[in-house]
């Protein structure tokens, strides 16, 4: 009586899968140490499905070319740069303004060349690792762009402050000798008062004030914005008490 073969027991399936994996790695000239790391990615477990063997072999080929590039292979470096420039452009298109795309590309390649050689140990496929760098880089560039825009807006507001306060009471800020302005300025802290007088009364540049106070130009903008809010409140109180 003929018998039909049933499914292989789990240990046999695991052994057969490892044999196929090793054969593919040998054919692709993947070193043993990398082979063990790739096997961990290939195996499935209760938490995730494993990566396909063909994907991992292709990813290792990309990693091998990248290593050749960092070791001085100009052709490999040019190929890597060309391929990932296209990917960065495709990723950024529609997501980021034109003026941020070049910064994202430049920062991505700088981080990749600097970090990957020591940090990448097949935690995930090579391309996935690079895409994570790109996503993080683009977020950082976008955040810096928003910060710059906020600082510029703060500076614009600060530059408009003399006319803003002047409208509140007969050009009070421009007429520093006016009693109400003196009282409002006296209500500021010493550092805020010095900053307001230097920038809004004496009309000195942000760079000049930054040098005098020993802080950055960005810090001047931030502190001036806070001082402006306080001064506006004090001037409002002056108006209410008259």
Mean pLDDT, range 29-47, rounded to an integer:
84
Q: With 90 as the cut, is the pLDDT of residue 23 above it?
A: yes
- Spatial contact of 104 and 138, defined as CB atoms under 8 Å apart: yes
Structure confidence at residue 152 as a pLDDT band (50, 70, 90): low
CA distance 196 to 224: 7
Sign of CA dihedral 74, 77, 81, 84: positive
The pLDDT tens digits of the residues spanning 121-133 come to 999 999 999 999 9
In a domain? residue 163: no
In a domain? residue 161: no
Which residues, 6+ apart, have CB-to-CB distance to 84 below 8 Å?
A: 108, 109, 112, 130
In this prediction, residue 209 carries a pLDDT of 78
**End-to-end Cα distance, the chain:** 112
Q: With 50 as the cut, is the pLDDT of residue 233 above it?
A: yes
In a domain? residue 131: yes
Per-range mean pLDDT, top range of 114-118, 224-228, 235-239: 114-118
Structural domain including 109 reads 22-146
Q: What is the mean pLDDT of the chain?
A: 79
In a domain? residue 82: yes
Residue 31 in tokens: 């070193």
Which residues, 6+ apart, have CB-to-CB distance to 118 below 8 Å?
A: none
Counting the structural domains of the chain, the total is 2
Verify that 26 and 136 share a domain, yes or no. yes
In this prediction, residue 5 carries a pLDDT of 52
Q: With 70 as the cut, is the pLDDT of residue 4 above it?
A: no
In a domain? residue 1: no
The total of other beta-carbon atoms located within 10 Å of residue 30's CB is: 21
Q: How many CA atoms lie within 13 A of 36 on its CB side?
A: 2
In this prediction, residue 182 carries a pLDDT of 73
In a domain? residue 138: yes
In this prediction, residue 74 carries a pLDDT of 87
């Amino acid at each position: 009586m003929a018998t039909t073969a049933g499914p292989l027991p789990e240990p046999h399936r695991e052994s057969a899968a490892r044999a196929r994996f090793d054969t593919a790695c040998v054919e692709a000239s993947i070193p043993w140490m990398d082979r063990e790391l790739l096997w961990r990615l290939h195996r499935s477990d209760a938490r995730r499905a494993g990566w396909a063997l063909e994907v991992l072999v292709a990813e290792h080929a990309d990693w091998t070319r990248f290593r050749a590039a960092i070791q001085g292979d100009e052709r490999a470096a040019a190929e890597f740069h060309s391929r990932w420039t296209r990917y960065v452009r495709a990723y950024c298109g529609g997501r980021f303004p034109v003026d941020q795309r070049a910064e994202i590309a430049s920062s991505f390649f700088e981080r990749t060349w600097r970090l990957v050689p020591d940090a990448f140990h097949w935690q995930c496929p090579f391309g996935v690792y690079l895409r994570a760098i790109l996503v993080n880089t683009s977020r950082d560039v976008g955040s810096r762009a928003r910060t710059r825009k906020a600082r510029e807006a703060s500076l614009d507001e600060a530059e408009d402050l003399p006319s803003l306060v002047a409208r509140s009471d007969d050009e009070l800020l421009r007429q520093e000798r006016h009693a109400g302005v003196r009282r409002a300025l006296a209500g500021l802290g010493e550092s805020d008062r010095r900053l307001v007088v230097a920038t809004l009364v004496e009309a000195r540049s942000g760079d000049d004030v930054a040098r005098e106070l020993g802080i950055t130009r960005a810090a001047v903008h931030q502190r001036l914005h806070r001082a402006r809010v306080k001064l506006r409140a004090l001037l409002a109180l002056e108006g209410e008490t008259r």
